[in-house]
Structure 1
Amino acid sequence: MLNTIVLIRTDNFDKAMVALADLVRYGGMRIRGDPRIVPPALSDWAFEKIVGEKPRKRYRAHVVAQIDLPPAKAIGRLRDIHPPAHIIVIPPESPVHKELLRLWGTFEKLKGFHPPKVKRIEQKVEKEEGEEFY
C-alpha cells in the first residue's frame, strides 16, 4: 500500500518542522522516512493539480513527507490541529503522487527534523513489524 503524501508550504523551514511535529503530536500521524525539500515550481505545480487553482501566495519553504493515514482521515485531522503552514494532502492514486514518488530520491532531505517521541509500546510494535517505505 502506498503512503499518503503531505505537501507543506510555509515561510521557512523552522515552521515546516513545527508543522511536521504537529502532524505527529496532535494529528496522530506517523511520518514515514525522511521529509524532503521540493523545488518551489514543483510545489506550485502540485498545488495547482490538487487544489485546481494557481497558488495566490508565494512561500519560501516547500517540504513533502509520507504519512501513514488515508487521505480523508488526514484531511479531517488537519482541520482539527491548524498547523503553522499551508498543508495539502496528496492521495496515493493521483498523478501528482506518482510524480513525487518518481522524483523522491532526487529531493534533499530536510535536515534537523526528528519526530516527537512516541510511546515505548508503539516503538516496539514498529520494530516487530519491520515496516518498509519508499
Structure 2
Amino acid sequence: MLNTVVLIRTDNFDKALIALADLVRYAGMEIRGKPRIIPPALSDWAFEKIVGERPKRKYNAHVVAQVDLPPGKAIGRLREIHPPAHIIVIPPDTPVHKELLRLWSTFEILKGFYSPKKEQQEGGSRE
C-alpha cells in the first residue's frame, strides 16, 4: 500500500518541525522515512491541484512527509489538532502524489526531525 503524503506549508522550518512532531504526538500518525523540503513552486502546484484554487498566501517553508494513515483518517485527525502550519493531505491515487514520489529522491532531507518517543504520547489534548 502506498503511503499518504502530507504537504506542510508554513513560515519557517522550525514551525514545520513542530507541525511534524504534532502529527506524531497528537494526531497519532507515523512519519515514514525522512520528511523532505520541496520548492515553493511545486508546493503551490500541489496545493492548487488538491485544493482546487490558487494559494492565497506565500509561505517560506514547504515540506512533504509520508504518513501511515489512509487519507480520510489523516484528514480527520488533522481537524482535531492545531499545528502551526497549513497541512494538506495528498491521497495516493492522485497525479500530485505520483509526481511527488517520482521526484522524492531529488528533494533535500529536512534536517532536525526526530520522531517523538512513544512514551510521550500519553495525553491527546493540548493546553
The TM-score bracket by the shorter chain reads over 0.9
What count of residue pairs does the alignment treat as equivalent?
A: 119
Q: Computing the radius of gyration over CA atoms, which structure comes out larger, 1 or 2? A: 1
Aligned to 1:62: 62
Alignment correspondent of 1:39: 39
Q: Secondary structure at the match of 1:75?
A: helix
Aligned to 1:115: 115
Q: Secondary structure at the match of 1:82?
A: coil
Shift of 1:82: 1.1
Structure 2 residue identity aligned to 1:85: A
What is the CA distance between 1:118 and its match in structure 2? Answer: 1.6
Distance 2:117 2:20 in 1: 13
Q: Any stretches of 5+ residues in structure 1 without a counterpart?
A: 120-134
Between the aligned partners of 2:75 and 2:83, the Cα distance in structure 1 is: 12
Q: In the alignment, what sits opposite 2:17? A: 17
- 1:32-69: CA deviation from partner (whole Å, max 9, x where unpaired): 00000000000000000000000000000000000000
Residue 118 of structure 2 aligns to a residue in which SS? coil
Report the counterpart of residue 52 of structure 1 in structure 2. 52
* Deviation beyond 6 Å, 4+ runs, structure 1: none
Unaligned runs of 5+ in 2: 120-127
Q: CA deviation at 1:84?
A: 0.5
Alignment of 1:99 with 2:95, yes or no, is no
Partner of 2:90 in structure 1?
Answer: 90
Q: What root-mean-square deviation, in Å, do the aligned CA atoms of Structure 1 and Structure 2 show?
A: 0.5
Task: Find the aligned partners of 1:118 and 1:61 in 2 and give their Cα distance.
Answer: 27
**TM-score normalised by structure 1 residue count:** 0.88
Deviation (angstroms), 1:70: 0.2
Taking every aligned residue pair, what percent have the same amino acid on both sides?
81
